[in-house]
Chains A and B, each alone.
Chain A
């Protein structure tokens, strides 16, 4: 199954009395790089969790090209790639083994995709060392490639630039642009406004679980952020 638009309609998620997300509606299309911006506790991670089908909304629904997660089932997960803050890698295994495992898990032939992924992450020379010994930047690049192994349509990234050095940031931003150009829907939650500025094509500003603004990206992101988030 495939889709080219993801529609979030009136999605809420609460934990007891605490509202993590409040009546959020958003539509994202292929080729978009959407920046989910907002202070801590805005609900960005929760929204990503819901889009990834890992968290169920308390109300509202998410449709992937007209299908809901429940109806589409396992086939939907084949089209989604997620990179969370913790990177989803097994420290005891090597980079190659991690990629091979996840490739096989997604029904791909490891021989076909692992080497390519290692090259893209610039880790071909360290491929057989345990991931535990990698720097944060190396693990982030590896984690990103792991999330993208199966060529997902919807790419969800939670703080993908944390701890990255300048070179790694460049690699990652280029990769994301390539993905969007190839038709993926990229959603990234980040605190780093300077990095987001110039990378994202759309901006979704969140605070306290609400979507305050959803618009095309314009230069001067920081000012826009301060204006919207600061005031609400």
Chain B
């Protein structure tokens, strides 16, 4: 990963630079027109967020039951990156909604529960910050439970009739949109991976530093 980091960063930057061009040339959606194009950033942002949530949940499980500090580092980093991309999703969503449906926010199930996932992982970060000693395990519990709630998110939109586009819109994208969409997805997932890697490496450094401090104390004796 180390060796790939810089080249991938360059590639990702290039992709993001090119993306607006692609988006501008993508097919026009009949009902919503120009505004719909925010979808190319909005959906990948949420996908990145859900990836972060999934990674945090998995790493939290490993940390809680196996106690590996690296799993804890991964969970903490994934939560931060997830909150970041969730914020992107939460900002782009209302922007889209305002233009497309005339409301900034609609309390339908999908929006609401996406918000609550974001809140859950903000809570994760709060616990890490304000929970005092032992907060890493508590945060792991939040991570696990938060991730377990996620399927209820996905199920809700399929059961609850909503003005939000159904989740199954992606497989049926017309060719003019599909290419651009998957390009943006790739760009976002690359960005997500890069940010996560950078953050995880930072956490690993911190863990290593703690170990050095501890070993230094040992050597003093």
- Chain A interface (Cβ < 8 Å from any Cβ of B): 14-17, 19, 22-23, 56, 210
Q: Collect the chain B residues with CB atoms within 8 Å of residue A210's CB.
A: 221
Q: Is the CB of A16 within 8 A of B217?
A: no
Q: Is the CB of A19 within 8 A of B214?
A: yes
Tell me, rounded to whole Å, the shortest Cβ–Cβ distance linking A24 to chain B. Answer: 12
Residue of B whose beta carbon sits closest to that of A12: B214
Q: Is the CB of B210 within 8 A of A23?
A: no
User: What are 11 contact pairs spanning A and B, CB under 8 A?
Assistant: A14-B210, A14-B214, A15-B133, A15-B134, A16-B210, A17-B210, A17-B213, A19-B217, A22-B217, A22-B218, A22-B221
Q: Collect the chain B residues with CB atoms within 8 Å of residue A56's CB.
A: 67
Tell me, rounded to whole Å, the shortest Cβ–Cβ distance linking A53 to chain B. Answer: 15
Q: Collect the chain B residues with CB atoms within 8 Å of residue A16's CB.
A: 133, 210
Q: Which of B198-221 contact A (CB under 8 A)?
A: 210, 213-214, 217-218, 221
Q: Collect the chain A residues with CB atoms within 8 Å of residue B218's CB.
A: 19, 22-23
Residue of B whose beta carbon sits closest to that of A56: B67
Tell me, rounded to whole Å, the shortest Cβ–Cβ distance linking B221 to chain A. Answer: 6
Q: Classify the interface of chain A: helix, strand, loop or mixed.
A: strand
Tell me how many residue pairs across A and B have CB atoms closer than 8 Å: 18
B186-199 vs A, CB cutoff 8 Å, 1 = contact: the mask equals 00000000000000
Residue of A whose beta carbon sits closest to that of B213: A17
Q: Collect the chain A residues with CB atoms within 8 Å of residue B221's CB.
A: 22, 210
Tell me, rounded to whole Å, the shortest Cβ–Cβ distance linking A109 to chain B. Answer: 37
The complex places the Cα of A210 from the Cα of B214 at a distance, in Å, of 13
The complex places the Cα of A216 from the Cα of B160 at a distance, in Å, of 73
Q: Which of B94-126 contact A (CB under 8 A)?
A: none
Which among B67, B133, B210, B217 has the highest number of chain A CB atoms within 10 Å? B217
The complex places the Cα of A56 from the Cα of B213 at a distance, in Å, of 21
The complex places the Cα of A17 from the Cα of B206 at a distance, in Å, of 10
The complex places the Cα of A210 from the Cα of B133 at a distance, in Å, of 21
Tell me, rounded to whole Å, the shortest Cβ–Cβ distance linking A29 to chain B. Answer: 27
The complex places the Cα of A22 from the Cα of B213 at a distance, in Å, of 13
Q: Collect the chain B residues with CB atoms within 8 Å of residue A22's CB.
A: 217-218, 221
Q: Which of B116-143 contact A (CB under 8 A)?
A: 133-134
Q: Collect the chain A residues with CB atoms within 8 Å of residue B134's CB.
A: 15
Tell me, rounded to whole Å, the shortest Cβ–Cβ distance linking B73 to chain A. Answer: 13
Q: Collect the chain A residues with CB atoms within 8 Å of residue B217's CB.
A: 19, 22
Residue of B whose beta carbon sits closest to that of A23: B218
A56-B67, A210-B221 known; A17 vs B133 contact (CB < 8 Å): no
Q: Is the CB of B67 within 8 A of A17?
A: no
Q: Collect the chain B residues with CB atoms within 8 Å of residue A17's CB.
A: 210, 213-214
Tell me, rounded to whole Å, the shortest Cβ–Cβ distance linking A98 to chain B. Answer: 28
